[in-house]
Structure 1
């Protein structure tokens, strides 16, 4: 199963590869060179297909928990001052996605979309400390009665040149539901209440829509 953001790219890639097959078969007679080119084209197709894959996830809805919005590795867990929306201290948890990760963004909690904003910006490497404030990004804030407000931010990286955000203000979000896509290596930041109980560790691998990032500290 592939994400809808990849349909056009997959189609164009298939057309190019079929045309390339025909050209190679017609104009290149050296067998080892033909084989090498065909292998490279097939490898490129496989990379495109795996990048836009959209596997089903078994999300267990729980208003007391924040799920990872993306697949990747936890690279930041720290208390920070969130400048854009809260303008106060929050717990930040950041997940870095490499080009081989699934790049679907999913809602970390169920609730109402109360803020959604796109920012143009730079394309620093996604793990750069200033990427959260200076790179191209989208900021979305969700709210429910149990958890309160949770902000997540899609951040473009050095390779990611397009962020897709489906969340619109006043939308109803379902935990684990498709909320967007980031093309190529990138990162997502979560900003959580200070009394949140963090359930992950640095360098831990997480799965979007399934891995528990945090829960209400009762």
Structure 2
């Protein structure tokens, strides 16, 4: 998958370079307020698109957080993305100050990948998971169940980015995409195949926090 450039996600540079460049030019021309604003915007984008290294080693049965943020929901549903399968849904909300690089929650093969355009409700609302722009990724876990995770755009986020393709092999903790500005990540796991180890309100880190243990 894609690697960062100087610790910054490559998608961030089109939003970083222009305001910094024009800010410096205007500053040299004697302007003050506008160039300072532009430089601050550029510096914030550097911060937002940061992509820290997180080398981790996980067991095949561990479910790893795919996103930084706060767990705003752990819910059980009689049916998830796959009809007829009881699932546990874990919802992680990313605020604008969180790292927005996403990582694979499991080791396995991408069985399906669906991107849908949609609306931009606030990401912490239930309706966001249904109506907002999103990418739904299906992964067949090696020696385990089929799991799903969904990148969901939010009120501020206007785009979700996934770097993989159907048939790609992913490893737990591996970079797989990003979401631009505040957004949400949902994970769906068969309810009878997982032991959850986190709780609502807890903060988690992508590629670091173990969300639960998968059962064969």
The residue number in structure 1 matching 2:161 is 164
Query: How do 1:1-218 residues align onto structure 2 when only pairs under 5 Å count?
Result: 1-23=7-29, 25=30, 28=31, 34=32, 39-195=36-192, 196-217=194-215
Q: Please give the secondary structure, in 1, of the residue aligned with 2:124.
A: coil
Separation (CA, whole Å) in 1 of partners of 2:79 and 2:180:
25
Length-normalised TM-score, structure 1: 0.89
**1-side partners of 2:78 and 2:156: how far apart?**
27
CA–CA separation in structure 2 for the residues paired with 1:48 and 1:175: 27
In the alignment, structure 1 segments of 5+ residues that lack a partner are: 29-33
- Tell me whether 147-156 or 7-16 shows the greater mean CA deviation: 7-16
Secondary structure of 1:161's counterpart equals coil
Counterpart contact for 1:122–1:134, Cα < 8 Å: yes
Shift of 1:82: 4.2
String of CA shifts for 1:62-117, please: whole Å, max 9, x gaps. 11111000110100101024453345320000110001111011100011000100
Structure 2 Cα separation of the partners of residues 89 and 112 of structure 1: 22
Equivalent-residue separation in structure 2 for 1:217 and 1:92 (angstroms)? 16
Whole-angstrom distance in 1 between the partners of 2:84 and 2:164: 22
Q: Distance in 2 between matches of 1:107 and 1:20?
A: 42
Q: CA deviation at 1:178?
A: 1.1
Shift of 1:13: 2.4
CA pair 182-81 structure 1, distance change in 2 beyond 3 A: farther
Calculate the TM-score normalised by the size of structure 2: 0.90
CA shift for structure 1 position 144: 2.0
Larger gyration radius, structure 1 or structure 2 = 1
Runs of at least 5 residues in structure 2 that lack an aligned partner in the other structure: 1-6
Q: Secondary structure at the match of 1:155?
A: strand
Q: Aligned partners of 1:50 and 1:61: how far apart in 2?
A: 28
Which residue number corresponds to residue 31 of structure 1?
none
